[in-house]
Amino acid sequence: MSMNENEFRASQVGGVPPTYSHPHYQQPVAAAPVLTPPRPKKKRVAALVTAGTIAAAVIGGASGAAVVALDSGTSTGTATSATTVSSTTNTDVSAVAAKVLPSVVQVNVTTRQGEAIGSGVILTADGKILTNAHVVSDAVGDVTITLSDGTEYQASVLGADTKADIAVLQAKGASGLTAATLGDSGKVQVGEQVVAIGSPGGLQNTVTSGIVSAVDRDLSDISSGEPETPFGQTANTASDSPSYTAIQTDASINQGNSGGPLVNMNGEVIGINSALYSPSATSTGSVGIGFAIPIDDAKTIIAQIENS
């Protein structure tokens, strides 16, 4: 995988902790802040950051960084035995891409720190868009969505759930859009082939493939620390951190994939790409460990937002 989107977290004194980062990309800004290494922590931690790359190799977050404990043995992912996928399932990635690409958008966000890029999934023909809450959490004004054919719309944020890391946008004046087919994440099997689509590094319409590595991966074991971010902010890890049980995949996702779909070989959205594991704070590219919010969980949040 290519070098990732999200925030830079200075490594701990005395060691380089593994990190989680959101695959949500931020363009370079004029001046990077001076980084001060955080105080040593007593236990190893992983950063779950919420923005993208700034000024070359610096990762920062408009809304700060949340800390996830990564002591050995804390991971509770379920790596159940893989079962054979039905022979009727399509295995042609190009056919899946052709079906799903028209339903995937790039999300461009203006924040006080600069420009950020994520991805999204079209829910309705009139322009409801599903994305990650962290993609739009610090948006100033409307965001811009770009369809796979280059058509652009301005969109407002209808609502967001930061714990679930889900947001719904509404494109203004949109009609005739191609809505994605939402699948059943409860039927996802370890070992089945999947496809991820999004805008890593701002490269729209990027398609990658892999398998489901695990299901029910718990990302909610949050440390009580309050680390500094490169913007001199601290994050209240109890309140700022997304908390969900994820689908783990080795399909390559990077900065800019946040909010984009993870789909099965029938072209059905089974998850929303949201985070990736990185072995160190200074090596933030994908290493084949990505996480997606199960689409069944997202459906629940979508309904809550639409009915609120």
Active site residues: 134, 165, 258
Give every CB contact of residue 87 below 8 A, 6+ residues apart in sequence: none
Please provide the DSSP assignment of the chain as one string.
-PPP-S---PPPTTS---EEE---EE---S-PPPP-PPPP-SS-EEEEE-S-EETTTEE--TT-EEEEE--TT----B-PPP-PPPTTS---HHHHHHHHGGGEEEEEEEETTEEEEEEEEE-STT-EEEE-HHHHTT--S-EEEE-TTS-EEEEEEEEEETTTTEEEEEETT--S--PPEE--GGG--TT-EEEEEE-GGG-TTEEEEEEEEEEEEE---B-S---B-TTS-B--HHHHS---EEEEE-S---TT-TT-EEE-TTSEEEEEEEEEEESBTTB-S--S-EEEEEHHHHHHHHHHHHH-
User: What is the number of other CB atoms lying within 10 angstroms of the CB of residue 280?
Assistant: 14
CA 258 to chain centre: 3
